[in-house]
Amino acid sequence: MASIQLLFLIFASLSCASATFIQNFDITWGDQRAKVLPGGDTVQLTLDKWSGSGFRSKQEFLFTRIDMKIKLVEGNSAGTVTTYYLSSQGPNHDEIDFEFLGNVTGDPYVMHTNVFSQGKGNREVQFYLWFDPTKSFHTYSIIWNPSQIIFLVDGIPVRVFENTEATTGVPFPKNQPMRVYASLWNADDWATKGGLVKTNWSLAPFTASFSGFKATNCKDPSSSPLLCNSIPVISATTTSSVQAQSQSQPQAQLSANMYRRMRWVQRKYMIYSYCGDTKRFPRGLPPECRRRR
């Protein structure tokens, strides 16, 4: 459980922080397959027949907005998975996922989102993108506050996962600080058309690029109202009282325009939601789905 000291550290130390990858991240695997480009703001992750690669943030976060610009593997990316996510550690970990499932040339990527709480996930929602994510950088954002998790693409919300713990009993990620992770790896046993299309290693190495990392806290609430309007003021001396404030804090609402844009994305580009999968849940949809936005 996070200490109040950690909470103060997180909210006091980063205010729309943006710095070089060397300052913010450690390369965690892949050896020379992960490369920081000149200038220090962009990392290229590479996948070949022997290994993928990845990095992890030096700092942990408890409630934050994370923005990352990503350019995905170009051309035939079938079998590859590019990930960008927040996660804690341990069997009862929390996690907030973006995963990009590669495809054969000309077919769209699948953007896969998921939320884990206390080790339980299976809350998948998937989309096609309305642009080519391999030609230029696009910004993928996670807003995580005590009342909700919002996934955004280029500032457009595509999914909201609300904290309904008080009414449904469904756990919400709220106690465990998380680090930012990113990786590029081979998953051709499932990633493309359920594993029917395998990675074409004659096209390797595959490369994805990450840039423009930014972590926003609530030192300046105007920097991110959707984040800060639901962050409790840290004035208590115990973690439990901070949690109590979190439970009672009003939820920040999407603007009417943002809500319309989210509905547009969901109507035109959402290809799967666990909240609509009655075959998977024949005895009834998960309780949080009945309150789904």
Residue pair 46/205 in contact by the 8 Å Cβ criterion: yes
Cα 85 from Cα 99, distance rounded (Å)? 8
The neighbour count for residue 177, using CB atoms within 10 Å, is 21
Q: Which has the higher per-residue pLDDT, 41 or 217? A: 41
Which tokens sit at 111?
């953007």
Taking alpha carbons only, the member of 225, 211, 217 closest to residue 19 is 211
Residue 131 phi/psi, 5-degree rounding, is -155, 170
Mean pLDDT of the chain: 87
* HSE-up of residue 2 (Cα within 13 Å, Cβ side): 22
Average pLDDT over residues 218-240: 60
Q: Over 70: is that where the pLDDT of 247 sits?
A: no
Instruction: List, by residue number, the catalytic residues.
Output: 95, 99
Cα 160 from Cα 85, distance rounded (Å)? 16
Cα 241 from Cα 247, distance rounded (Å)? 10
Which tokens sit at 204?
């390797």
Domains and their CATH numbers in the chain? 21-232+261-289 (2.60.120.200)
Angle CA 266–157–94, to nearest 5 = 100
Residue pair 162/79 in contact by the 8 Å Cβ criterion: no
pTM score, whole prediction: 0.87
Residue pair 234/11 in contact by the 8 Å Cβ criterion: yes
Which tokens sit at 160?
């909201």
Residue pair 58/25 in contact by the 8 Å Cβ criterion: yes
The model's pLDDT over 186-207, given as tens digits with 9 standing for 90+, comes to: 999 999 999 999 999 999 999 9
Identify the H or E element spanning 244.
helix 239-248
